[in-house]
């Protein structure tokens, strides 16, 4: 498949945004259980969730560049019964709304407990919104990934691993950003978020490793024989029906050389899984606020390469009909 | 229920591209048009087509065969491109099973083209909407046309009658009989899309000749030699 930068930006940016929001809510829940120091509503939660919202907005804007008719984008909420894309289009704004409400509640300091559960856990509006938002964030990971995983004949994508990868990559980069944000703010949560970021990064390394392994050994169901229905081992395409290319040759081929593909492969493996973990480890010893920021920046760049590779490695069965130009 | 479809006879198709040009001509100027082109008279011309003819060579010389393979939307009975459309612009007509795109609703997200294993959908680079074969819906459903002309433009144009058109759900239709009697098959049956369009395979007509039929004593093509008269009557000498 041809990797479109609009989609690469959309999926990586909203993944980080969701992960950051989940990290903030996790921090809030931990502090509720007195496992962590409670943080300042305004400077930590309101600012952090605004950053998450900003990432979601930029991701959404990027997605418009993928559309031929962005002015009709509102129509895409219509077929949520059958289309995962439609479901994403509904869940994303819903999630953004919850993040915005969460940010507003913290900004205005409306964090007086509304009621207490068993006289111990004090529940305020921000916690309720946070939990609703967390549910929406996970639903959004599923919707985004299922857009790809639901197409059964793009066999590289048609696997539960796709959903697990999207979720883990989002969580890893989101917690990484939360660590960077804490370091920048001088908040004592770098260790907490950093540890989770490393855990999610390692889990993502396992699941992405499994999907890469699966894809190298994948035997495609469709062959040129089933594509044109002729039973012979030696079929060679002599003409595609045109000479200057078509939508079919532009949309479904990445057009990159094998060496570029290898380069991107090793680049994303290092940038997503190795360097961020090393940088976070270094920041643990050096206590520098820049290193977690660098770790996040490195991982985000790596994730863009990973998403590019995700598209490039998918081989669409329609490519069987376009084997040689003539 | 009616399911209109094409049956394409690969045994007859000569790869002349008449179906391609007449499709383009009808559909660029009709309801589904325009089918825009990019650099049509320049280097690397490209554009939107509903129908293409590809050519494949089967086997190795000297035992080769050239197969011309017309390729257009198969109007699947379980079209995977329709449920994925987020806007409902892609739909399958209830009355005749034709898969269509509502250009006024299409947002050009290309998701349907990803969801077609055959690559039969093409994004119009100028109008920025997804386009595909309509089976000439503006001909076949047009009561103002005389009945013989209520057929897709490609079918009317085909000089060798390699393209048949009709209802594949009616067991007595020309297309159903052709599929049944001449080995009609579907493309990529492994995905369960149930394409309505079928292809008829290459068919060879061979006469079977055994050695003894060539070696008949009175075969006129036989090399001249004394007749084996001593052996008495041959089978051919016996008449009733």
CATH number of the domain encompassing residue A68: 1.20.1630.10
Q: Where are the beta strands (DSSP E) in B15-134?
A: 37-38, 46-47, 51-58, 65-72, 90-92, 99-101, 122-123, 130-131
Q: pLDDT averaged over chain B? A: 91
Q: Is the pLDDT of residue B84 over 70?
A: yes
DSSP, collapsed to helix, strand or coil, labels residue B118 as: coil
- Mean pLDDT computed over B185-190: 96
- In order of A2, A180, A313, the CA distances from A14 in angstroms are 21, 17, 22
Task: Kindly report the backbone phi and psi dihedral angles of residue A217, in degrees, each rounded to the nearest multiple of 5, phi listed first.
Answer: -100, 10
> Nearest-CA residue of chain B relative to A63?
B109
Q: Which residue of A has its CA nearest to B70?
A: A241
Q: Which residue has the tokens 């369960």?
A: B192
Report the residue from B54, B83, B110 with minimal CB separation from A83: B83
- Structure tokens, B144: 């103002």
- Do the domain assignments include residue A326? no
Q: Which chain A residues are closer than 8 Å to B48 by Cβ?
A: 247
Q: Using alpha carbons, select from A57, A22, A18 the residue that is nearest to residue A143.
A: A18
Q: Print the domain residue range for B71.
A: 4-200
| Domains held by chain B: number | 1
CA distance B110 to chain A (A): 8
Domain annotation covers residue B171: yes
Please give the residue that has the higher pLDDT: either B226 or A323. A323
pLDDT at position A38 is: 81
> CA B16: distance to chain centroid?
13
Under 8 Å between Cβ of A186 and A47: no
Q: For residue A253, what are its two tokens?
A: 């081929």
Q: Is the per-residue pLDDT at B231 higher than 70?
A: no
Nearest to B190 among A221, A234, A318 (CB): A221
Please name the residue ranges forming H helices in B85-157: 111-114, 137-140, 153-157
Average pLDDT for B90-110: 96
Does the beta-carbon distance from A78 to B88 stay under 8 Å?
yes
Mean pLDDT of A178-203: 94
**Can you tell me whether residue B3 is helix, strand or coil?**
coil
Residues of B in contact with A323 (CB under 8 A): none
Q: How far is A308 from chain B (nearest CA, A)?
A: 16
Instruction: Give this prediction's pTM.
Output: 0.91
Instruction: Respond yes or no on whether the N-terminal peptide bond of residue A77 is cis (omega within 30° of 0).
Output: no
Query: Tokens for A271?
Result: 């940038």
Report residue B166's pLDDT band, with 50, 70 and 90 as the boundaries. very high
- 8 Å CB contact of B201 and A230: yes
For residue B189, the chain A residues in CB contact (below 8 A) are 226
- For residue B137, being part of any structural domain is answered with yes
Burial A117-150 (b: 16+ CB within 10 A, else e): eeeeeeebbbbebbbbbbebbbbbbbbbbbbbbb
Q: Which are the contacts of B206, defined by CB distance < 8 A and separation ≥ 6? A: none
Which ranges of chain B would DSSP assign to H, the alpha helix? 18-28, 81-84, 111-114, 137-140, 153-157, 174-181, 211-214
Residues in A closer than 8 angstroms to B43, CB to CB, are 244
Asked if residue B213 has pLDDT above 80, the reply is: no
Report, as an integer, the average pLDDT of B82-96.
Answer: 96
Which residue of chain B comes nearest to A222, CA vs CA? B188
* Residue in A77, A236, A247 nearest the CB of B123: A247
ipTM of this complex prediction, to 2 decimal places: 0.91
Spatial distance between the Cα atoms of B121 and B106, rounded to a whole number of angstroms: 13
Residues in Cβ contact with A293 at an 8 Å cutoff, skipping those fewer than 6 apart: A180, A183, A184
C-beta separation of A1 from A311 below 8 A: yes
Q: How many domains is chain A partitioned into structurally?
A: 1
Average pLDDT value for residue range A98-116: 90
DSSP string, A12-62: HHHHHHHHHHHHHHHHHHHHHTTSSPPPPIIIIIIHHHHHHHHHHHHHHHH
CATH code, domain carrying B38: 3.30.70.20
The pLDDT confidence band at residue B232, using thresholds 50, 70 and 90, is low
Least confident of A114-118, A122-126, A215-219: A114-118
Q: Is B155 inside a domain boundary?
A: yes
Alpha helices, DSSP H, located in A234-313: 247-251, 258-268, 275-286, 290-313
- Give yes or no for residue B154 having a pLDDT over 50: yes
Full 3-state SS string of A143-199: HHHHHHHCCCCCCCCCCHHHHHHHHHHHHHHHHHHHHHHHHHHCCCCHHHHHHHHHH
The DSSP output letter for A270 is: I
Which residues of chain B have a CB within 8 Å of the CB of A84?
84
Domain annotation covers residue B215:
no
| B226 in any annotated domain | no
pLDDT at A326 over 60: no
**What is the rounded distance in angstroms from the CA atom of residue B198 to the CA atom of residue B164?**
10
**Whether B87 and A238 lie within 8 Å, measured CB to CB:** no
- C-beta of residue A128 within 8 angstroms of C-beta of residue A76: no
Q: Which domain holds residue A106?
A: 5-321
pLDDT of B130 above 50: yes
Residues on chain A touching B186 (C-beta within 8 angstroms)? 229
Instruction: Mark yes or no for CB contact A235/B56 under 8 Å.
Output: yes
Stated as kind and residue range, the H or E segment containing A127 is helix A125-149
């Amino acid at each position: 498949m041809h990797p479109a930068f609009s989609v690469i930006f959309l999926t990586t940016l909203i993944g980080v945004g969701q992960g950051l929001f989940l990290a903030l809510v996790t921090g809030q829940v931990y502090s509720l259980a007195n496992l962590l120091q409670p943080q300042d509503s305004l400077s930590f939660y309101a600012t952090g969730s605004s950053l998450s919202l900003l990432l979601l907005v930029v991701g959404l804007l990027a997605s418009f560049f993928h559309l031929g008719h962005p002015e009709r984008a509102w129509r895409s909420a219509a077929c949520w019964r059958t289309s995962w894309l439609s479901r994403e289009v509904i869940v994303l704004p819903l999630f953004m709304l919850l993040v915005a409400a969460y940010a507003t509640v913290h900004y205005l300091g409306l964090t007086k407990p509304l009621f207490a559960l068993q006289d111990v856990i004090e529940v305020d509006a921000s916690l309720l919104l946070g939990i609703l938002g967390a549910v929406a964030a996970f639903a959004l990971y599923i919707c985004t990934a299922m857009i790809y995983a639901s197409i059964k004949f793009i066999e590289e994508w048609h696997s539960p691993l796709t959903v697990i990868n999207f979720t883990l990559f989002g969580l890893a980069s989101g917690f990484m950003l939360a660590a960077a944000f804490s370091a920048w703010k001088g908040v004592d949560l770098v260790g907490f978020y950093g540890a989770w970021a490393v855990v999610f990064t390692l889990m993502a390394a396992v699941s992405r490793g499994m999907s890469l392994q699966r894809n190298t050994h994948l035997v495609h169901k469709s062959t040129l024989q089933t594509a044109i229905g002729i039973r012979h081992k030696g079929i060679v395409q002599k003409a595609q029906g045109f000479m200057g290319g078509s939508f079919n040759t532009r949309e479904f081929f990445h057009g990159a050389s094998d060496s570029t593909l290898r380069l991107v492969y090793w680049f994303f493996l290092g940038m997503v899984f190795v360097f961020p973990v090393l940088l976070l480890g270094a920041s643990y010893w050096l206590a520098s606020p820049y290193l977690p920021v660098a770790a996040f920046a490195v991982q985000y760049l790596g994730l863009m390469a990973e998403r590019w590779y995700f598209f490039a490695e998918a081989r669409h069965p329609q490519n069987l009909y376009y084997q040689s130009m003539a | 229920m009616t399911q209109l479809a094409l049956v394409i006879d690969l045994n007859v198709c000569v790869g002349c591209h008449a179906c391609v040009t007449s499709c383009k001509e009808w559909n660029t100027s009709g309801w589904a048009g325009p089918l825009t082109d990019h650099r049509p008279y320049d280097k690397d011309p490209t554009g939107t087509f509903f129908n293409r003819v590809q050519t494949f060579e089967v086997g190795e010389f000297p035992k080769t065969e050239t197969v011309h393979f017309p390729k257009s939307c198969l109007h699947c009975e379980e079209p995977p491109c329709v449920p994925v459309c987020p806007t409902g612009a892609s739909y399958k007509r209830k009355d005749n099973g034709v898969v269509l795109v509502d250009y006024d609703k299409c947002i050009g997200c290309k998701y349907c083209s990803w969801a077609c294993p055959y690559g039969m959908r093409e994004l119009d680079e100028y109008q920025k909407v997804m386009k595909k074969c309509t089976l000439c819906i503006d001909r076949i459903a047009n009561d103002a046309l005389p009945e013989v002309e209520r057929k897709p433009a490609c079918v009317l144009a085909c000089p060798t009658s390699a393209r048949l058109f009709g209802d594949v759900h009616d067991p007595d239709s020309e297309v159903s009989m052709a599929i049944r009697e001449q080995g009609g098959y579907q493309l990529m049956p492994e995905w369960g899309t149930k394409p309505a369009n079928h292809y008829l395979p290459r068919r060879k007509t061979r006469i079977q000749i055994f050695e003894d039929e060539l070696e008949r004593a009175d075969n006129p093509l036989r090399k001249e030699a004394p007749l084996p008269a001593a052996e008495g009557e041959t089978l051919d000498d016996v008449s009733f």
